[in-house]
Structure 1
Amino acid sequence: MILLAATAVALLWANSPLGTSYRAIRDFQLGPHFLHLDLSIGEWAKDGLLALFFFVAGLELKREVVVGELSRFKQAVLPVVAAIGGMIVPALLVLAIAWGQPGIERGWAIPVATDIAFALGVLALAGSNLPSSTRIFLLSLAVVDDLGAILLIAVLFTSDFDLIAAAVAVLALLLYAWLQHRRVRTPWVYVPLAVITWIAVHKAGVHATIAGVALGLLTRVRPDPGEEQAPAVRLEHMLQPWSAALAVPVFALFAAGVEINARSLGEVFTTALPLAVMIGLVAGKTIGIFGASALAVALHVAERPRDTGWRDLAALSLLGGVGFTVSLLISELALTGEASERAKAAVLLASSIASLSAACLLLRRSKVHGARED
């Protein structure tokens, strides 16, 4: 709900008579020029605050792989295969629809991601009676999905690679891993080390959010004997509220301020690339996730989640089309100017269509499951 509120404020602010103040604040630069940290407020939200979001995503992924649902082969296969299908099909649809259009060389990556926070929020609101296995499936799918998006960001949007800075980042990550292994707990070591890692990754030319997920994946997830919680669990509980209530909404506030009018909306439906992004998110995600899941089950390499029917999976597949945070990020990275604005408008429209449509299906399925329990 906070995320929706931030998005609504951004859209209203950007399209009001105060729109110039919105863009002035978003583009206002602050920070030291040293190490190229004189960034705009929008860039600080994109590169800095989202690193926290991806750190939490890295913690979730590490926990799922080591001790969670993804640690058991049969349970792990389905969301992994579904996530891969949900990345490949939207990308192919965008390439097929917008082939040869300006920006397509990197714009095809825009609809590959599912927004973890937004999708789980819709499921919690509309699917309260669905089995708990549906949430685990969606969480696992979204985490794997976001890992794929992170890898794409690292490969597609790395420029002017600085070898020395990259070496500093690697050394900082190795030191972090060693401190985790030695069971060092003090934040007075980890916080400066995380900041150094972020700065080094940023200076290296790699998108700085990669620092967040790398640190998350290196955090210990198994508790020691006598230890109530592992560091990853403690950090997740501590940082998740900051990620959900601050980092992602502030990013949305400065990323979702797209100018919406009759002309711009018309361009979304009449320009090949934004139209392809919409189709990729709404149709491509649904076809890719559901189709890959059905194929994996038919080939007996995976099993459906416990107590979850095909109609439940269809609703979850449609919910996968809520790209939002990561899709907005890739839109900003892949395109510039009006092309970026049109792509972001397409992401917002597609995410709205997918979330509302999925919510209707989930409410129906929730009633069915509730009636069975009664």
Structure 2
Amino acid sequence: MPSNPPRRSPAVATPRSRRKLLGRLSLPERRFVADALRTETVGGILLLVAAVAALIWVNTPPLTASYVAVRDFHIGPAALGLNLSLQHWASEGLLAVFFFVAGIELKRELVAGDLRDPKAAALPVIAAVCGMAMPALVYTLVNTVGDGSLAGWAVPTATDIAFALAVLAVIGTSLPSALRAFLLTLAVVDDLFAIIIIAVFFTEEISFPQLGGAFVGLVLFWFLLRKGVRGWYVYVPLAVVVWALMYNSGVHATIAGVAMGLMLRCHREEGEEQSPGEHIEHLVRPLSAGLAVPLFALFSAGVSLSDEAIAQVFSRPETLGVVLGLVVGKAVGIFGGTWLAARFTQAELSEDLAWPDVFAVASLAGIGFTVSLLIGELAFTEDPVLTEEIKAAVLIGSLVAAVLACVLLKLRDRKYRALTAEEERDEDADGIPDIYEEQNPEYHLRMARIYEEKAAEHRRKAEAAAGSRDGSDRPA
């Protein structure tokens, strides 16, 4: 009789590995994030200095009149509809450079970054959407109950990545790369929705001939890029013409900057170290972070902060809605969105992090400065007094969010420093952090040689020390 086949033990269901939230970045992505945030940090410090300078300038009685005179000074060709105040040039012109960089960042994220993978994109997109919806909801509830104006619902929805990074630089906290990338991607998605809000909700009258001219200019811009035409002397004048036509069309001129940024190619072809988009972003980002945004802050952050003005911020529904939207709405929205993404995608948080870390970063995202000030100006154009109060509310709300985030981040600072040190450790000095070479046999062989050389050196030192001690023990 044939022998019975051996019985198989019943199959044991092994749990499938769950996708990690806020896990380790790939090495190229980590390097890109580090380079981008380094420039934004410097720009954020300049932004902070400009905002403080504006507040001191406008709140020093002998200097107040000079600030108003400089801010309201008009310059530009009136025949072209461009005789604008310096404040207007900063918000409509210089911020177009900021949104141009935002457009390139968004394009890169879509084709080469986290947003190219729908599963990976789900977390920052859900978190950003919730982080914009909740502040708008908080503002709407406060103003519905307090019988205030709903026109400012979009003011607390924006995050200022540069200001947030400046706060990190000031308090000396280094976030792990996964949290930094999360914050950067949040800001990119946040900027996208801010652009949509500005284009859809703050465009009242449209001049179709001017808008058509801007569209033709954008098509020409795209055509020249596809044909490989090079030279700043071609694109800069064309960009200025497109911007002027967009401005005179009634659509906010910063939309032109975004559109041109999205047209650049941001994927690398064979033999390229950088794509054209990455190269141009590398050139333009310092101009945006170091000049455009600080000058906008200088001319937009100059608001009165008298005792009466501060009291008005906490007693008027519009301004209170902005403060609570930034401080409460942003933190609850981003944290809740991230938790929901983990809950319904069956992903789990990286073992290096904890949920309090997510809440701390969510609180940091409550710093809404540049775009919040811009939307505040657009929302209450007909009421200059309320516009100034809304700006004060943005400043106070951002300050409260920054203080809250600082406290939460400092509680975990030791953990962050240990994680950052581990990410940056490079014992074999090959320019690649050791954490990215754990699966490389050559790395382990190099480390073995390094440790063998160190062991041999220590043996020589031990022998020399023993010989020296024996000599010192002999009688004179």
TM-score range, shorter chain: over 0.9
Larger radius of gyration: 2
Structure 1 unmatched ranges of 5 or more: none
Structure 2 Cα separation of the partners of residues 184 and 230 of structure 1: 15
Contact 2:161 2:365 in 1 (8 A): no
Aligned match for 1:135, one of 168, 173, 180? 180
Contact 2:147 2:317 in 1 (8 A): no
- For 1:291, the equivalent position in structure 2 comes to 336
- For 1:69, the equivalent position in structure 2 comes to 114
Aligned match for 1:202, one of 239, 247, 258? 247
Structure 2 Cα separation of the partners of residues 106 and 181 of structure 1: 41
- For 1:370, the equivalent position in structure 2 comes to 417
Report matched runs for 1:1-374 at 5 Å: 1-16=45-60, 17-99=62-144, 104-123=149-168, 126=171, 128-300=173-345, 304=349, 307-335=352-380, 336-371=383-418
> How far has the Cα of 1:208 moved from its partner?
0.6
Question: How many percent identity over aligned positions?
Answer: 50
Contact 1:131 1:308 in 2 (8 A): no
Structure 2 Cα separation of the partners of residues 163 and 100 of structure 1: 40
> How far has the Cα of 1:304 moved from its partner?
4.2
Structure 2 Cα separation of the partners of residues 102 and 44 of structure 1: 34
- Secondary structure of 1:99's aligned partner: helix
Alignment CA distance shift 1:229-1:101 (3 Å)? same
**Deviation larger for 278-287 or 350-359:** 350-359
Alignment CA distance shift 1:129-1:118 (3 Å)? closer
Contact 2:269 2:275 in 1 (8 A): yes
**Deviation larger for 335-344 or 250-259:** 335-344
- Secondary structure of 2:412's aligned partner: helix
Q: How many residues end up aligned between the 2 structures? A: 374
Contact 1:77 1:302 in 2 (8 A): no
Contact 1:3 1:248 in 2 (8 A): yes
Q: Deviations over 1:273-331 (max 9, x none)?
A: 10110000000000100001101110016664684321111111001100000001111
Structure 2 unmatched ranges of 5 or more: 1-44, 423-476
> How far has the Cα of 1:35 moved from its partner?
2.8
Alignment CA distance shift 1:263-1:256 (3 Å)? same
Contact 1:94 1:276 in 2 (8 A): yes
Structure 2 Cα separation of the partners of residues 24 and 358 of structure 1: 36
> TM (normalized to structure 1)?
0.95
Alignment CA distance shift 1:183-1:81 (3 Å)? same
Structure 2 Cα separation of the partners of residues 95 and 56 of structure 1: 31
Letter in 2 for 1:65: L
> How far has the Cα of 1:83 moved from its partner?
0.4
> TM (normalized to structure 2)?
0.75
> How far has the Cα of 1:340 moved from its partner?
0.6
> How far has the Cα of 1:359 moved from its partner?
2.0
Letter in 1 for 2:403: L
Contact 2:323 2:394 in 1 (8 A): yes
Structure 1 Cα separation of the partners of residues 134 and 232 of structure 2: 42
**Deviation larger for 182-191 or 341-350:** 182-191
Letter in 2 for 1:357: L
Structure 1 Cα separation of the partners of residues 346 and 224 of structure 2: 38
- Secondary structure of 1:270's aligned partner: coil
Alignment CA distance shift 1:342-1:5 (3 Å)? same
Alignment CA distance shift 1:308-1:171 (3 Å)? farther
- Secondary structure of 2:268's aligned partner: coil
Contact 1:54 1:212 in 2 (8 A): yes
* Root-mean-square deviation (Å): 1.8
Q: Deviations over 1:229-269 (max 9, x none)?
A: 11111111111111111101100000000011011111001
Contact 2:319 2:390 in 1 (8 A): yes
